[in-house]
Structure 1
């Protein structure tokens, strides 16, 4: 992994110090949490319901049998809220001990109501001292521990309400069931959301690891494997001790291909990515490869490919892409031409056509070779030949683009490479940072 990877569990950027050392501004990554808005909503709910409970108490102050006792509880509840309101802004601050104490304040206020209020008001449906603030204590359990915690906490509140009312009146039962169902439902939703969040975080980690493996496999395919193949071929041509060296290089090439394919392809992109490329003698880097992050004329990178057997056609105006995206596109074209040389033979002709469309850059590589037999691409992928899967299709996928093959046996092959201009800007920046931190 690169040092700009994101910790999807905490929402932090592990590569921030390294980015600062390179003089770059660390990427801003938002915390992935479905719970944070719920905690903030709970904090707001507790504050608003406290104000509502104080308002009800002020209206009925003179009707209490013991108004000073009721005022003492309301004062204690207000002080408790003033000291602890920040405890419900996050899961880390909202501890089990706090939740238990908060629930004790709610249940205590309900049980204290018959001691300070008249029996007639209670039987007439008068509110308890904490009123609907009680639900906040139960919701805290639901968000913190899920539906099981919510069920236990709401049961305590239900028993306290029945004891306070002394008889299971309809409105009391209605309120108790409403709190119980709402808290259990919210707790269940929180558990499902938390599980989905963990699954998403794991998927993002796997995707990031897969993309890094793809990048490394492309580098291996475009460098080490090609050198080993060249050594094998030249050794067989020279003979003698060089032939033994070539044989060993061939064995190492097969082993390395198997290793790369076995560690990468199970996690690679959609099925169908395959490889027809076999070792080639072309340079690893595309001719004229650009560096930096500014715009680059794709024509300047593809023009050096023109030569004996290769015809290059370009528009009259510059065809600009971010430098990193243009270099990746040129490398994909190089891999396509290598396939032509290897599979169509040295005498085959190839044509490169560059088209500058409003939303994308389109490069077509066509040859007059024998074409690709049906199923050959899939077979090559299983064999560990990654020229198409990584050097071509993988590069285009990283840029948000696509690669499409049109081939009829006996009539040549056409490879259509499409790079969206808008997506390439973001993708090339990520590629540049990833390579800088590798």
Structure 2
């Protein structure tokens, strides 16, 4: 079953299948009554036949009323399989050896398919195959010696039970996954509508104010120009944030986050972000730590390269890892400067960038060339940090 679907909602999705199982049980019981009525005169223990039929009738009522099993009835499928197996095995005592050797059907006939269906709907195709194998084994056991039967006779009923369990289990899984996809699509659509509403509200208020501050600050010059520049950067970042698709934010899946959606808001007039066209999913904690390392790299650009330095962020989604490269056109620095800073206790790069990636099981490399800028390379292997 789909792992991200709540068990109670899963049961609701499968109610049509449970109703079909109930109809099958009742119809199979009617067929068993007809079969027992016709074969009654030939039984070795006729009263035993009616006794088993009574058990089948009572158990049919129980399963029709109690399925699907709730939290307090988790053992019901196991009990169902056990009762059915006993009813099938009882045929060896009720029927005559001669009739069994001639291929007489078990007491339960089609009714023995009930628990196979129940297991398949409740737990999926593997469980359906297990239940089918148990019932099929009981059916073969009452027809020993097997040498009296052709290969077709031996494999028809067991093969049909196994096919029944696999097919219905697969159908049940498809039903759950389809319903989960519908619900997830509805959530994404609702999130997209909410994002659009917020975007309109922000555009009509905050963005207009930031635009006006940026224009007037730059025109005034001096300290106001710096304020105008900061307002312009925040405007660009806010536009990128509200422009990020809600589908992009949600498509990474349960426990995952799209790294693009976390890094895209960092782009502005001085920072360019290049990313793949599709989502770059990582475990949520890993994606957050990588984005914080990128932010730390950009802070170092503004702090050491100047307020007008440009930066470029490149996200690469590789088969076995995700890489992020941050470059700037600042003055750079001498290769030994990082080691000197760490020795003097200035651990900004060592902790906020290198330390973060090391804790994630990834790699970080800072390269700089005097007069030619700085490059920070971050790389996180796939599957790391998920726990």
RMSD between aligned alpha carbons? 3.5
Structure 1 residue 214, shift from structure 2 partner: 2.3
**2:69 touches 2:76 (CA, 8 Å); kept in 1?**
no
Asked whether the 8 Å contact 1:214–1:264 carries over to 2, the reply is no
- Cα shift readout 1:269-294 (whole Å, capped 9, x = no counterpart): xxxxxxxxxxxxxxxxxxxxxxxxxx
Q: 201-210 vs 180-189, which deviates more?
A: 201-210
Of 30, 40, 48, 1:61 maps to 40
Q: What is the CA–CA distance in structure 1 between the aligned matches of 2:71 and 2:160, rounded to whole Å? A: 27
Find the counterpart in structure 2 of residue 204 from structure 1. 186
1:229-240 pair list within 5 angstroms: 229-234=211-216
CA contact (8 A) 1:32 1:197 kept: no
Q: Indicate the SS of the match to 1:143.
A: helix
1:157 to 125, 132, 135: 135
Residue 189 (1) aligns with residue 171 (2) = yes
Q: How many residues align?
A: 245
Residue 122 of structure 2 is aligned to residue 140 of structure 1: no
Bigger share in helix? 2
Residue 210 of structure 1 and its aligned partner are, at CA, apart by: 2.5
Match of 1:37 in 2: 16
8 Å CA contact 2:133–2:161 kept in 1: the answer is no
Structure-2 residue corresponding to 1:115: 93
Counterparts in 2 of 1:163-174, with a 5 A limit?
163-168=141-146, 169=149, 170-174=152-156
Instruction: Tell me what 1:125 maps to.
Output: 103
How is 1:264-279 mapped onto 2 (pairs within 5 angstroms)? 266=248
Asked which structure has the greater RCO (Cα within 8 Å, sep 6+), the reply is: 1
Say which is worse superposed, 127-136 or 229-238, in terms of deviation: 229-238
CA pair 264-161 structure 1, distance change in 2 beyond 3 A: closer
Q: Aligned-pair distance for 1:196?
A: 4.2
For residues 125 and 83 of structure 2, the distance between their equivalents in structure 1, rounded to whole angstroms, comes to 21
2:203 to 221, 228, 248: 221
The whole-number CA distance in structure 2 between the counterparts of 1:216 and 1:236 is 28
Structure 1 spans left out of the alignment, 5+ residues: 1-7, 13-29, 269-438
1:242-391 aligned within 5 A: 246=228, 249-262=231-244, 266=248
Counterparts of 2:99 and 2:92 in 1: how far apart (Å)? Answer: 10
1:238 shift after superposition: 6.8
Give the CA deviation at 1:206: 2.7
The CA deviation string for residues 203-228 of structure 1, in whole angstroms up to 9 with x for no partner, is 43233223322221222122211122
> Compared with structure 1, are the counterparts of its residues 208 and 123 closer, same or farther at alpha carbon in structure 2 (3 Å cutoff)?
same
Distance 2:247 2:13 in 1: 33
Determine the structure 2 residue equivalent to 1:327.
none
- Give the C-alpha shift of residue 248 in structure 1: 5.0
Kept in 2, the 8 Å contact 1:228–1:250? The answer is yes
